[in-house]
Chain A
Amino acid sequence: MIYSYQDKTLSPGSVESAQIHLRASHLAVGYDNIPIVQGITLQLDRGQSLALVGMNGSGKSTFLKTIVGLLPPLQGELELLGARNSSAARRVAYLGQFQSSGFVLPLRTIDVVRMGRFAAHGLLGRLKAADHELIADSMRRMDVHHLAHAPVRSLSGGQRQRVYLAQVLARRANLLVLDEPTASLDAAGRAIFARVIEEEVTRGASVVIATHDIREAGRCDHVMLLAQRVVGLGSPKDVLTPQALLETFGVMLATQD
């Protein structure tokens, strides 16, 4: 059974705008005016999580980039944290897919995580004690605090990804938008990530994750299946059916937990 969020939760005017973290209505996303996915209508409330599942090229990253304002919406409406313009942008954290380039910047772990506080303080605002505590706390939560003064270029791919996730946590954002955040993480890293996302949701942040990991998607409140169109949208139980996954991936996948 596939349902639209709108049917379930949105009756116009009755919900406080700050409660709605993400609202898309007949949204089309794509590059250079060429739509990749059309007709996206959904709502994500405070403290909810949404997983985007689909193959490479299915439009997951394009949708995420549109949410955070890196790409303009081609059609329809998009509201973030109750605002239709970009004024909410600083309360949204984003982690894209990193190209593993051969050259890594001469930065230490703490320098990378500290960048997460720049959005809150702008060009010249001073970082305060609370910011430094948040930076240290974010490194602890991703278990990279012992690497705080290590050069990032000396870290493994998985460790680097944890550092980037610590930067996202340091943003203390209301909406977290993460593009395949666990792709380079090992089992321990994925367990840490799952716990951290749980904590973020508990404090009232909402999370949108693009993933290839069906189990990860199963932990979210909502799942959207994408195959250059919205194949399904709803609770994991309703959406992650063998038939819908076959439609999304073109192959049969096991769906049990």
Chain B
Amino acid sequence: MDLLVDPFLQNDFMLRALAAGTLVSISAAVVGTFIVLRGMAFIGDALAHGVLPGIAVAILLHLPGILGAAVGALVMIGGIGLVTQKSRLSSDTAIGLLFVGMLALGVVIVSRSNSFSGDLVRVLFGEVLGISPSAIIIQVFVTAAVVIAAVICNRPFLLLCFNPEQAQVSGFSVRLYHGIMLAMIAITVIVSFQTVGTLLVFGMLLAPAGAGALVASRITSMMILAAMFGAISVYAGLLASYHFNTAAGSTIVLAATTLFFAVLLVQTVRLGHLAQRSWTH
């Protein structure tokens, strides 16, 4: 029992990591649900990685990384819109181009600096064990904002998932609400990179929501399940990283993806069992 609880009770940094990780799980569950239901995984991925040059420049200029991440996300979203509009290429081509370009720019900036490799690892994989109380407070506000926005925009978001045309003909601007949704994804990515890092925030967006989609029969229950799966992953990942001395952020995401495949396995066995029963009757 002590092995399961003591690491958190005896170490403030573990408790802070648990709090920050759980908060990330909640906002990632909300926006991750929309990403999974609307097939926006690629743009989520691009946002998660495209913020890298922004963060790199911010660190070079001794500015807060979160500010750079915000600028990076804005450039990314604006760029995708511009390329899609001007080139008439499909948006996944635009997303891919911006994504790889921004990532390359980030690495180029980082490679110019000698003392930067430690920072790079920190940005990519997060420093969940070094979270400051002020970062947790920011996290609280962002999580609350994401949840409130999802509640207020519940109807247009539901219609967007169902069919964007139906949203438009019901009087909800697809442009506006798609934009709000993108902003929610961006803000979740931006504040989460300190916890699990830009490389792994994507895992927290997809894995718990994906697992939720496998079992939920309603969108609200999918979000709640995703938040629970996320929180369990954070707890299990932190505990494992404490006992086995592994990288905390990566262990959390590994726990989340493992949980996804476990749910998939249980579902497959259960559905297979049901199908077999209906055949034999």
Contacts and interface: CB of A to CB of B under 8 A. Distances in A.
A106 B170 contact: no
Given A115-B166, A119-B170, A151-B217, A105 B155 contact: no
Contacts of B168: 69-70
Contacts of B239: none
Nearest to B167: A118
Contacts of A124: 152
Nearest to A168: B166
B24 interface: no
Given A105-B219, A107-B219, A111-B218, A94 B155 contact: no
A106 B171 contact: no
Nearest to A92: B169
Given A105-B37, A106-B216, A106-B222, A96 B171 contact: no
Interface residues of B, number: 25
Contacts of B165: 65, 70, 94, 96
B208 to A, nearest CB: 14
A108 B158 contact: no
B156 A106 contact: no
B159 interface: yes
Interface in B190-244: 213, 216-219, 221-222
From B152, B161, B165, B213, name the one whose CB has the most chain A CB atoms within 10 angstroms: B165
Which label, helix, strand, loop or mixed, suits the secondary structure of the B interface? helix
Contact of A69 (B39, B152, B169): B169
B41 to A, nearest CB: 12
B212 to A, nearest CB: 8
Nearest to B36: A103
17 contacts: A89-B169, A92-B169, A94-B166, A96-B163, A105-B161, A106-B221, A107-B218, A108-B217, A111-B219, A115-B158, A115-B162, A115-B170, A118-B158, A119-B170, A119-B171, A122-B171, A123-B155
Given A90-B171, A107-B217, A118-B170, 19 more contacts: A65-B165, A68-B169, A92-B169, A94-B166, A96-B165, A103-B39, A105-B37, A105-B161, A105-B162, A107-B219, A108-B218, A115-B155, A115-B159, A118-B172, A119-B169, A119-B170, A122-B155, A122-B171, A123-B152
Interface of A: 65, 68-70, 89-90, 92-94, 96, 98, 103, 105-108, 111-112, 115, 118-119, 122-124, 151
